[in-house]
Chains A and B, each alone.
Chain A
Amino acid sequence: MSCGTTILTIAGLRVSLCRSDCPDRHLVSDLSLQVRRGRVTGLIGESGSGKSLTCLAVMDLLPKAMRQSGGRIDLTAAPGPTLSPCGCFRGRQAAMIMQNPMSCFDPIFTIGRHITETLVAHGLNAPRHTQRIRATFVELGFEQPDEILAAYPFQLSGGMLQRIMVSLALLLEAELLIADEPTTDLDVIVQARILDLIDQLRREKNVGVLLVTHDLGVIARLADQVAVMQNGRIVESGPVRDIFSGPSQAYTRDLLAAHFSLYGRLAGEGRA
């Protein structure tokens, strides 16, 4: 599939609380965006603006207390198994990296078990893929894949677990990667490495990426398009350079001003 084909279309998404006593309370309203193959769409905004809910809605993983009360989410992937009615196997086309890698793994199972479980859930025969799992791990910079497979989650660092989540996306040949604050808790050097990895996936495997973050530095490093969210709505969106050079909304200007006042001093020399 060529670069630039739309892989994810969200149109008029609305997420509401299931409670009947406040029917007008929408956590995400009228959200529309697109992710194209080989491109990174960034989603920024302060905490509580609905970024993560949007990701969960795409994966059909919204918490029980919330529901998608309007809008469409289309994952236009290559012809493959159609979505089951419950949508629970969306994970084959879309993979997700979450913010806190520690809480995404079950501490009593080894990494190998986690990987096998995921592959089996997606109808792949895990033993047949052992060689591929090893190769993928090597590709992600683990020099001793067997040691990693035998390790428990608590024996690995946050950055390593984050890379394992990326490896699942690779193994399933997902076409869409949803990265929800992938580097917030990691140290800067590991952060640079994870971002390089996402960049590499995008270039080499032509994966479309929906990147959620509150760090404009991450957006500047990776994204092509960016959408700014506030109170569950997109207030502004467009190509990254346009947003950085000429934000039209006061909120975006505030974000950029905070960003430059915090970080501009050091990164300034790299500026053309």
Chain B
Amino acid sequence: MNLLELDRVGKSYHRGGWFGKGERVPAVVEVTLTIPESSSIGLIGRSGAGKSTLGRIILGLEQPDSGTIRYRGKKMQTFTGGDWREFRREVQVVFQNALGSVNPRWPAMDIIAEPLRNFDDLTDSQLRRKIDFLLAMVGLEPSDADKYPHQFSGGQLQRICIARALALQPRLVILDEAVSSLDMLIQAQALRLLRRLQQQTGIAYLFVSHDIRIVAGFCDQVAVMHQGRITSTATDLSEAKEADDPILRQLARAVLPAWPEGWTHAENP
């Protein structure tokens, strides 16, 4: 069954003018996309293509102007309070800017515990055990639980955000450039973690990124966005450099070489 179905979703913003007189700038135009259960869907495009806006629409943070969104077969526009509560529990997000998505006055423990306190009725010791488990899962120490956001590096903070998103065992996680700012070792570690969790619990990911290299290795299917539209979808990116879609071709060709020019080392590392 499809977890999420978007049917011709559109969204535009006002720019300038008062009382709605300014021009309308389309951010998302007639986007149709399905996310099956336990799949990884990639969403790539240049900055300003509308990727993040689409992510926010799916989260219900923005109201679409047109089109319908169905979550597990149910129309999002007709959600009741209870539906939203369930939706909020099952759909989580990790944003690019980790520092901006945590409360600077809370220690890591409270940051991770917040969704658990909201949705689960746990005793203090259960909560503590769960937090230690989540911290260990993302490669942090139990002693890190008492530290505040400014005491962490960007990569550590991003992993705390990932731990928070995974705390409630969601069915869909939207990763909005979640690993772009991490260094390579941590990036590889975070991706391995996400992949392993998917195998264990069957989470679906919507992976928003401008870096085709990561998406190519991580996602089953990739949608390319440009100026608010999905211009093409692909399952295999190995031929992307010769793709019909000019945007995909451009993105693929801008990829940096993995090896120095003229490097002829026969052995595969």
Interface residues of A (CB under 8 A from B): 46-48, 157-158, 184-192, 195, 214-221, 240-241, 244-245, 254-272
- Determine if A245 and B265 form an interchain contact, defined as CB atoms under 8 angstroms apart: yes
Bound Cα distance from A47 to B237, whole angstroms: 30
* Residues of B with C-beta under 8 A to A271: 258-259, 263
Counting chain B residues whose Cβ lies within 8 A of the other chain, the interface size class is 35 or more
Which residue in B184, B186, B212 is a CB contact (below 8 Å) of A259? B184
Query: Which one of B46, B153, B180, B185 contacts A254 once the chains associate, using CB atoms below 8 Å?
Result: B185
**Cβ-based interface call for B16 (8 A):** no
**CB-based contact A184/B213 at 8 Å:** no
B263/A272 in contact, CB under 8 A: yes
In the assembled complex, which residues on chain A have CB atoms less than 8 Å from the CB atom of B186? 46-47
Residues of B with C-beta under 8 A to A187: 46-47, 210
> Is B183 a contact of A272 with CB atoms below 8 Å?
no
Q: A175–B251 Cα gap in the complex (Å)?
A: 33
Given contacts A195-B256, A217-B258, A254-B185, 11 further A-B contacts (CB under 8 A): A47-B186, A185-B181, A191-B256, A217-B256, A241-B260, A241-B262, A259-B258, A263-B258, A267-B213, A270-B259, A271-B259
A254 CA to B183 CA in the complex, in Å? 13
Q: Is the pair A266, B238 in contact by a Cβ cutoff of 8 Å? A: yes
Determine which of B182, B217, B261 lies in contact with A265 in the assembled complex, contact meaning CB atoms within 8 Å. B217
Q: Mark B213-243, 1 if CB is under 8 A from A, else 0.
A: 1101100000000000000000001101100
Which residues of chain A are within 8 angstroms of B185 by Cβ–Cβ distance?
Answer: 46, 254-255, 258
Q: Report whether A240 and B260 are in contact in the complex, using a CB–CB cutoff of 8 Å.
A: yes
B183 touches A46 (CB 8 A): yes
Q: In the bound complex, do residue A241 and residue B263 qualify as a contact, i.e. CB atoms below 8 Å apart? A: yes
Nearest neighbor of A44 in chain B, beta-carbon distance: B184
Nearest-CB distance from B251 to chain A (Å)?
6
Q: Is B193 an interface residue (CB 8 A)?
A: no
Q: How far is the CB of B93 from chain A (nearest CB, A)?
A: 20
Contacts of A260 in B (CB 8 A): 258, 269
A195: B residues at CB distance < 8 A: 256
- The verdict on B39 contacting chain A, using a C-beta distance below 8 Å, is no
Bound complex: CA A218 to CA B265 (Å)? 19
Instruction: Report A268 CB to chain B, min CB distance, Å.
Output: 7
CA distance A192 to B212 in the complex (A): 13
The residue of chain B having its C-beta at the shortest distance from the C-beta of A261 within the complex is B188
A220 to B185, CA, bound (A): 17
CA–CA, A221 to B254, complex, Å?
Answer: 11
Give chain B's interface residues, CB within 8 Å of chain A.
46-48, 153-155, 180-188, 191, 210-214, 216-217, 237-238, 240-241, 250-252, 254-265, 269
Quick one: closest A residue to B45, CB to CB? A187
In the complex, the answer to whether A262 meets B47 with C-beta atoms within 8 Å is no
B16 to chain A, nearest CB (A): 13
Contact A47 B258 (CB under 8 A): no
Q: Which residues of A contact B237 (CB under 8 A)?
A: 266
Q: A187-B46, A258-B184 in contact; A267/B214 too (CB < 8 A)? A: no
Contacts of B240 in A (CB 8 A): 266
Q: Tell me whether B250 and A189 are in contact (CB under 8 A).
A: yes
B181 & A184 in contact (Cβ 8 Å cutoff): yes
State A195–B257 Cα separation when bound (angstroms): 12
> Can you report 25 residue pairs joining A to B where beta carbons are below 8 Å apart?
A46-B183, A46-B185, A47-B155, A157-B47, A158-B47, A185-B180, A188-B210, A216-B184, A217-B213, A218-B256, A219-B260, A220-B259, A255-B184, A256-B269, A257-B269, A260-B269, A262-B187, A263-B213, A263-B258, A265-B213, A265-B216, A265-B217, A266-B217, A266-B240, A267-B259
Knowing A189-B46, A257-B269, say if A268 contacts B211 (CB, 8 Å).
no
- What is the CB-to-nearest-CB distance from A1 to chain B, in angstroms, rounded to a whole number? 26
Which residues of B have CB within 8 Å of A261? 188, 217
Taking the closest CB of chain B, its distance from the CB of A158, in whole angstroms, is 8
Q: A241-B263, A244-B260, A271-B259 are in contact. Are A189 and B214 (CB under 8 A)?
A: no
8 Å CB contact of B183 from A189, A214, A217, A244 = A214
**Do B263 and A188 touch (CB < 8 A)?**
no
With a cutoff of 8 Å between Cβ atoms, the chain A residues found around residue B47 in the complex are 157-158, 186-187, 190
**A263→B269 CA distance, assembly (Å):** 13
Point out the residues of chain A lying under 8 angstroms from B269, CB to CB: 256-257, 260
